[in-house]
Amino acid sequence: MSDPVAAVRAALASIIDPETGRDLVAMGMIYDIAVEGDTARVTMTTTIRGCPLSGLLRTGAETAVAAVPGIAKVEITMTWDPPWTPDRMQPL
């Protein structure tokens, strides 16, 4: 794995937010990615606290990251601090 953080980011970009049709990275929902050895730690958010899709998005992120070669353990942390705003989105 030449750049494990980039590989994890690419995997997260495959997860689409069903409400917007855009991926988690483009939506600005990924706050941090860290890889130590074979463990990936991702801090992410949703557009609102209590989002009904939180579980779906978290599970999708965990599954996608676990499929990255060299990653054996995935830790997903959900946070709402700072709160997500549309300013975090990448331009179309």
Residue 92 CA to residue 83 CA, distance in Å, equals 21
- Mean pLDDT across the stretch 70-91? 96
Helix orientation angle between 54-66 and 4-12, rounded to the nearest 10 degrees: 140
Residue 19 has what pLDDT? 87
pTM for the full predicted model: 0.94
Neighbouring residues of 19: CB distance < 8 A, sequence distance ≥ 6: 47, 53
Q: pLDDT band for 1, please (50, 70, 90 cuts).
A: low
CA angle 5, 40, 75 (to 5 degrees): 140
Q: Work out the mean pLDDT of the chain and round it to a whole number.
A: 95
Under a CB-based contact definition with an 8 Å cutoff, are residues 39 and 77 in contact? no
Q: Model confidence over 21-63: pLDDT tens digits?
A: 999 999 999 999 999 999 999 999 999 999 999 999 999 999 9
Please give the domain boundaries of the chain with CATH numbers for all domains: 4-84 (3.30.300.130)
